[in-house]
Structure 1
Amino acid sequence: MQPEATLNQLKASLPDGQLPPSYGVYFKNTLVALCHALEDHILLSSSQNSAQKPLVLVTFQQGKWYLQEADRYFDLAQCSAHVAIAAMPDSGFATHKTGQEDNVSLVHLDDSDSLVNEWNLIIVARDYAAMVLCHELSPEEYRADNQPTVDTERKFYGLWTFDRTLVEKSASILIERFRPYNPTLADRLHTSHQEISLMPSAAPADLSGVVARIVSYLQTSQQQLVTITRQTRELVELEGQALKMNRNLAANKLQAFLRMAQGVDERDKDNPVASLQVSALSETLGQIIDLPTLKLRRLRLAGLLFRIGLAQAPSEVFSQSSHQLNETNYSFWRKRAVLGAQLLATMPELAPIQQIVLHHLEHWDGSGTPNGLKGEEISIEARILGLVSYFQELTQPRGDRAAYNLTEALEQCQNYSGTRFDPALIESLTTVIRLAEMGLMQLPTRPSQLPSVWLEEGKKPESKDRSQETELTSS
């Protein structure tokens, strides 16, 4: 990747030089899926208020442009304040109706500019920011035996994020890369960017829908990749390629799930770090009772994802106590574990985590949901998650209920020892809280590791051996 690449410039501009966890190597179909999900959000959240319309910056690598995408960008232009598209002169934009729109500007790239190897989509709006930022691998960066022979096998260094700071830095970098082609346009884009950035803060857009679409698009693109590979490879090669594609796509689906869970916390103004705290304290309890490493990792990830079922929840679920909720909203609240499990079930690699989330509202005496499991029929991970999530929620305010202090929250949990919760786990939680109260330890606020991404491949025998673990990053 050339030093002037937008990705490299972004990395150099960051204080720690650390790109977000979504950075890795992506197949082309994955990028199409990610871009379509972000573009759909523009189309579905279209506003007549010009102040709400986003600035959209796009580059297309190698001038590869498809008619259906050109038509799609015509519709996007109707929903955007300004769309700047950089592509090769023979891309067809100049004669397509999209290129004729008043709020669409074209940048005809020189074939010696490294921008021809980039595929970027940057969206800056008043209430959200998002981007997919990518650079295609050079022929030298592929292994000799792994050169792409079909379009879907092409790979890109890249990332996707909703982090406004990163998006705005990238927008400024890309605008300056347009400047040698058209200084007047660069000034205009810079002004538009500044106007949006300086607007009074608006309520953050609810992006749970766009993340859900990312998951859906990734699922579809995975199926397409395997289908195409079956048509172009012999059986032995198919299995290897399908596995690589599946790992890449699965990692990005997990990133989408993690972002969805983060979005739930962001909606909960009274408990905005619930997932981090639950994951951290669950891990601590698991360590105290000496859970095997693999189970600890599952528990840690389940803690980060246990609220994902609330992604589409009414706002009242986050602002009212359970006794204040009307019948419809209370039903939503009671079904949160099932809803979360249904989402996670779309990823076979998350099957153990899905089961933990599904059963964390089961009760020790069999009175819980969804299956009325009793005692040790409930997995130890689900028992821990159920106890810790209840305790953590009590330590934060909810509706007309003030937050409990640690002792009060522990006493509430102790009241349910032997009925709702495993008595042995109540004792373990009591030990942790007493140590914290005496100043001998601090309650953890973050798990020991945040997944950059971790998944499981296939079923393996349970053991405490670290060889049971599988690390998987989006690269």
Structure 2
Amino acid sequence: MNPESTLNQLKAALPEGQLPSSYGVYFKNTLVALCHALEDHILQTSSDKSEVDPLVLATFQQGKWYLQEAERYRKIADRSRHILISAVSDSGFSTHETSQLDNVSLVDLDPEDSLVNEWNLVILAPSYQAIVLCHELDPDEYRPEDRPQVDTERKFYGLWTFDRAVVSQSTEILLDRLRPYNPDLIDRLKATQRQILECKDVPQTDMSGVVSRIVSYLQSSQQQIVAVNRQTRELWELEGQALKVSRNLNANKLQAFLRMAQRVDERDSANPVASLQVSALSETLGQLLDLPTLKLRRLRLAGLLFRIGLVSAPPEVFSTPASQLDDVTRSFWRDRARIGAQLLAAMPELTPVKEIVEHHLEYWDGSGQPDGLRGEEIPIEARILGLVAYFQELTQTRGDRSALTPQAALEQCQQRSETRFDPKAIETLGNVVRLAEMGLMQLPNRPSQLPNVWLEESPAPSTTVKS
């Protein structure tokens, strides 16, 4: 770790160099969980008194800053005195409306500054203080066999604490490191810090609820790691069964993946043919958009496999609208594309299909997941799959939400044109829905080609899109 890092400077400043007991090595998704738990406390604490609102300092890493967090920080800004966000200049945040708020400041980090290797969140309020302080491991600190293959496998030295002395010392170090970028701003923030520290007669917040939320979030992130491992083991078990039938290793892996995808559909009693319908309609849109044959084949297969990341998700994912899920279950729904891509990575031959599945939740305006890709940066197959998956989901009952007609579902998609979805893909979907309404075609419910394993074991319910 760089000697200039905030963590190293904090260790040098603390008595006997004793860091909090939470200090250790964390996976990236665990850090996301920690930060979200602390941010949620701000979002869930309503106050009309600006003097008790917190000062928030956030340091994001080098590379594109995920724009899905920009909207989250707009809401946090409504409940904060001031927010300082440090990120490299091409993070994409400077063009988002959040950066234009009066109480939000942006520092463009020099790519050569070691701060770009840090991920920090500091919250200073008169009634409590909290911090997540992290520094990514250098490449040579990984053992060869442990080097991260995917984003979520990246590791960080880090800590989190509510200890006021540690938070205060960390804040001083971080602000001093940022001073060369904007001395006047840092002076104002240090004055705000002093005001907060000097506040008297402010009841201290009971942080037990926040700690409970942190534990819940950490359990959720750990459950995802366990789920991926469990799903991988299941994949190999299924592959072993397939080996009895065929000696073609790649065919066996693919059959195992397809069976896992079928199990997801079988668990979803309200939508047991989602994969078939999504694959079929995606293929139709791809044909109308003149995708070459190879891309159509990959898109068709991605449609069959796009829900594979939900194979070990809690049952509530299939019976409850996303807006009503609890924190733990919502994480499975939110990260389903990334988890599915991690599973598909076990078969290198499926890399193009993995990329489609991984990026089908990216949004046209750059605010999607997992990489905040924007517009044409998103593979065309992923744009199609994301739109069709959303459309198909709306045409099915989910919990207390009734199924929409194809036309009503299309209108929901059209409202998200140029924000979530590719306008050209929506226009093409609109043409298909209109032709179906005129009786000139039927909405496709089965792809043109279907693997034998699916034909043999496909679920029994009807494959008609509800209208």
Normalising by structure 1, we get a TM-score of 0.48
